[in-house]
Amino acid sequence: MTAQPRHRRAKVAVIAETVPHRAMWLTGALLAVGAALVALPGRAQDATIITSHGYSTFGELKYPADFAHLDYVNPDAPKGGEISIWAQGTFDTMNPYSREGRGGALATSGYETLLTGTADEVGASYCLLCSSIEYPEDESWIIFHMRPEARFSDGTPVTAHDVVFSHNLLIEQGLPSYSEIAAYLVSDVEAIDDHTVKFTVAEGAPSSDAFGLAGGVPVWSKAWYEATGARLDEPRFDISPGSGPYMLDSYDVNRRITYRRNPDYWGEDLPINVGRGNFDVIRVEYFADTTAAFEGFKAGDFTFRQENSSINWATTYDFPALSNGWVIKAELPNGNLPAAVGMVFNLRREKFQDIRVRQAIALMYNFTWTNETLQYGLFDQRESFWQNADMAAQGVPEGRELALLQGLGDMIDPAILTEPVTVPHVSGSGQLDRANLRRAIDLMAEAGWVPGADGKLRKDGEVFTLEFLSSNPNFERIITPYIDNLQRLGIEAQFNLIDPSQYTNRERDFDWDMIYDGYDNNLEESIGLQQRFGSDGVTDVFNPAGYASPAVDALIEIVANAESREEMAAGVRAIDRIMRRELFVIPTWYNPNYWVAYFDMFEYPEPLPPYALGQLDFWWYNAQKGEALRAAGALRR
């Protein structure tokens, strides 16, 4: 018989990139199932065993076991050509998992996982290095049957022993946050034979999260590590071979990195890969800053640019390559959650512990004036940590969300139960809203900070100072008016622009007052919330503010053990409501679209899937157009 069992899972942040934004270039390891239930005698005491080609959290898999290709790809996309992008700053290692150094862009792209996600489903994943999975109805373990044809780029087979080795290496030498959550979720990993690996779920752990962690382990070559004596936590340029479609081809430190498609890639014809990995070469050009990079793009030094500067998008795309049709400028839809970014308070600093101080400092940021005057009205104002999703809190709490909040008792302010959810304050059309300034002065006075004869706020004789740290010169024009407003309040504020390497070190050491950063949340949530918002994560890179709340801790447990999507969403809405009131991130702006510019030799399937732009994944190169551009002198390389 066939059935669709209930499953739960959320994205667990397995690995952190050493680059500032911690972004992965391929669709990540969300999980998913369309399952067949079969009774397998002799295993798990004749319990019913579920076998499937994937795993789903709360619903059914979109794609059946015999699917030919993903709906959003072009199965006939040609292979060939080069796409080039840019990266800012420097790199001093090609090991992106090192705790030291700055990893090269796309350095994780050569490694595959047992399961892989799609760009048109939430909480769904399909076999990649495995051909099938099986697990009992109680989800106390999961077995991956691996594809015997899978090979590393050096031609050696990918085995269950490599999976076990990679899992253990991450625990021993990876980020401490990974070790902690892995120990919480998985009690044992064993290679049953060369191509069968079993993960046992730890007692009391959410099984779907354990499955997610198991399916998301990047698989490295055990033989390579043993032969070289390399460590995962050390910076190095020689790295383990991967099994993915691309291999590191060459690098010129701080100038460029080139990846080349593996002509012998073992998984070329898998249905999950059809129409993907179409470029022969992916090249990354390094520039000191965005201004230099933009000049390089206009000159044809690289060929695809994703824009994040409103002033550039509004005023500088008027160069010859665009006007004569060589370059396409487009706004493409983005169905992902916007990152919950903004001005982040370092709550590890005592001066930010008083919420009245945070409220006063937030009142000095004027989104309306900033957006209209400095950002050409191109952005929307972010309110929620889960903006534009059904998990964003709205109005006053109702239904299941209200019941969850009531169950927290005195862990929350009772006003949360009756007052509308906190939204960003409204500001006037001038840079400094005087009504907000007066309110901010009162809040600071209530917190014990009063102005002296020089107008500076003091408490116990100490001046209130605030350093806004950044490595992005584009932020200076946006943040400087905000710094001016803070100075009008009486805060000794400054914007400190430093180089990317210094910024990386200070960010990791939490040596800052405020930065522009935030949290990458998901359209499904579970135990991964602990790394970002749990009390145990105050020293975690995934929790830049160092936020902690017993109430949120309790709700995370409810979300992690939710038996339906409705229960999960209600728990997340309650968390959103509490955290917005705590105001540890001043919400700023978000863009509901991708801003992209690219030389007119790239094509993509229409419509794009909701959850990925996919320029390095399922776009392709039109050779005829490329030759025409080269003949016209549009490209330098």
CA-CA distance, 593 to 602, in Å (whole number)? 19
Whether pLDDT at 19 is above 70: no
Q: What is the pLDDT of residues 23-82, one digit of tens each?
A: 333 333 333 333 333 333 334 455 799 999 999 988 889 999 999 999 999 999 999 999
Whether pLDDT at 327 is above 90: yes
CA-CA distance, 113 to 464, in Å (whole number)? 49
Whole-number pLDDT of residue 192: 98
In this prediction, residues 270-297 reach a mean pLDDT of 96
In this prediction, residues 289-317 reach a mean pLDDT of 94
Q: Where are the domains of the chain?
A: 35-71+101-228, 246-336+593-631, 340-590
Write the CA distances from 86 to 89, 249, 565, integer angstroms: 10, 17, 39
- Name residue, tokens 């509308």: 420
Q: Tell me the pLDDT band of 180, cut-offs 50, 70 and 90.
A: confident
Whole-number pLDDT of residue 46: 57
Do residues 54 and 129 make contact, with C-beta atoms less than 8 angstroms apart? no
Two domains, one topology: 35-71+101-228 and 246-336+593-631: yes
Q: What is the pLDDT of residues 365-421, one digit of tens each?
A: 999 999 999 999 999 999 999 999 999 999 999 999 999 999 999 999 999 999 999
CA-CA distance, 289 to 470, in Å (whole number)? 12
**340-590 fold:** Dipeptide-binding Protein; domain 3 (3.10.105)
- pTM of the predicted structure, to 2 decimals: 0.84
Whether pLDDT at 439 is above 50: yes
Q: Tell me the pLDDT band of 20, cut-offs 50, 70 and 90.
A: very low
Write the CA distances from 49 to 41, 210, 343, integer angstroms: 9, 17, 49
CA angle 385, 388, 390 (to 5 degrees): 85
> Where would I find the H helices in 218-354?
222-228, 290-298, 310-315, 320-323
User: What is the DSSP annotation of 347-381?
Assistant: TTSGGG-SHHHHHHHHHT--HHHIIIIISTT--EE
Q: What is the pLDDT of residues 196-226, one digit of tens each?
A: 999 999 998 988 899 999 999 999 999 999 9
Q: Tell me the pLDDT band of 175, cut-offs 50, 70 and 90.
A: confident
**35-71+101-228 fold:** D-Maltodextrin-Binding Protein; domain 2 (3.40.190)
Whole-number pLDDT of residue 181: 87
Whole-number pLDDT of residue 39: 38
Beta strands in 76-140 (DSSP E): 82-88, 115-117, 124-127, 130-136
Do residues 13 and 105 make contact, with C-beta atoms less than 8 angstroms apart? no
Q: What is the pLDDT of residues 512-552, one digit of tens each?
A: 999 999 999 999 999 889 889 999 867 777 899 999 999 99
Q: What is the pLDDT of residues 406-421, one digit of tens each?
A: 999 999 999 999 999 9
Q: What is the pLDDT of residues 595-634, one digit of tens each?
A: 999 999 999 999 999 999 999 999 999 999 999 999 999 9
Give the mean pLDDT of the chain: 91
**246-336+593-631 fold:** D-Maltodextrin-Binding Protein; domain 2 (3.40.190)
Whole-number pLDDT of residue 9: 34
E strand or H helix at 215:
helix 207-215
- Name residue, tokens 């990649």: 128
